[in-house]
Structure 1
Amino acid sequence: MNSIDACLDGIAKVNERILAEPESERRKHIRERTVSVTVPDLATVFDMRLTIEGLTDITHRSQTAPAPRPRVHVTVTVTSDDLVDLAGGRLDPARALLTRRVKVDASMGDLLRLRKLL
């Protein structure tokens, strides 16, 4: 099991990957969305916004605490180890989805856009 800090580092790596894309590509694929990443083994939820400027307003809270935003567009559930492995490129996102190591609750359009970024 990884720590909250390791998960935050993983989220930062994902953000770096998003920002490495040219702005024109980000504009094509990113629609501003609220994102919650639930990490059950840490009983923690990371809340953030996905924007053209990357992942912003990143906070974390206990899984039992109420969400700070009334509407979440994308919800991801993943263990801390898999989150860190995904961020580090050691776990293929498509394989993780197919084997249900990562669960994503989002519209089909959001899934297709996110797939192009990750």
Structure 2
Amino acid sequence: MATIEECRSALERLSDNMAKAEGGVRDAAALDRSVSCHIKDLDVSFLGRLVDGRIEVRETVQGPPPKKAEIRLAMTGDDLIALVGGELAFAKAWGSGRVNLQAGVLDLVRLTKLL
């Protein structure tokens, strides 16, 4: 089972990858939205913002997110690490329910370009 530190590191790698992206992927990530990522098996949530194509984790809290973020992710720590490491395809994980992504319709349309 992944640790909190490993999950935070995976989110940082994801943020770095998004910041280095070009073209349509970079445009899709160029939102300014609140973000939460709940790691279900650790019962911890990372809270922050998606700004200028980067995820800025600003706070880590026990349990589910205390406020509803504009973009909400939920998954296990191992799935987060596998997604960021390229070992798990996001579309397959989302379609099977391993990863839960919730956002407004327009944001979901933009975010699908990241897949």
Q: TM-score normalised by the shorter chain: which range applies?
A: 0.7 to 0.9
Structure 2: gaps of 5 or more residues: none
Please give the alpha-carbon distance, in whole angstroms, between the structure 1 residues aligned to 2:72 and 2:11: 14
Residue of structure 2 equivalent to 1:76: 73
Please give the alpha-carbon distance, in whole angstroms, between the structure 2 residues aligned to 1:9 and 1:19: 15
Shift of 1:66: 3.4
The answer as to whether partners of 2:38 and 2:64 remain within 8 angstroms in 1 is: no
Q: Deviations 1:67-117 (Å, cap 9, x if unpaired)?
A: 4xxx51011110011011011111000000110000111112111212223
> Percent of aligned pairs with the same residue?
29
Using the TM superposition, name which of 58-67 and 45-54 deviates more.
58-67
Structure 1: gaps of 5 or more residues: none
Please give the alpha-carbon distance, in whole angstroms, between the structure 1 residues aligned to 2:53 and 2:18: 9
Please give the alpha-carbon distance, in whole angstroms, between the structure 2 residues aligned to 1:64 and 1:117: 25
Q: Deviations 1:2-37 (Å, cap 9, x if unpaired)?
A: 0001101110111111011138863x3222000101
Residue of structure 2 equivalent to 1:19: 19
Using the TM superposition, name which of 98-107 and 15-24 deviates more.
15-24
User: What is the TM-score of this pair, normalised by structure 2?
Assistant: 0.87
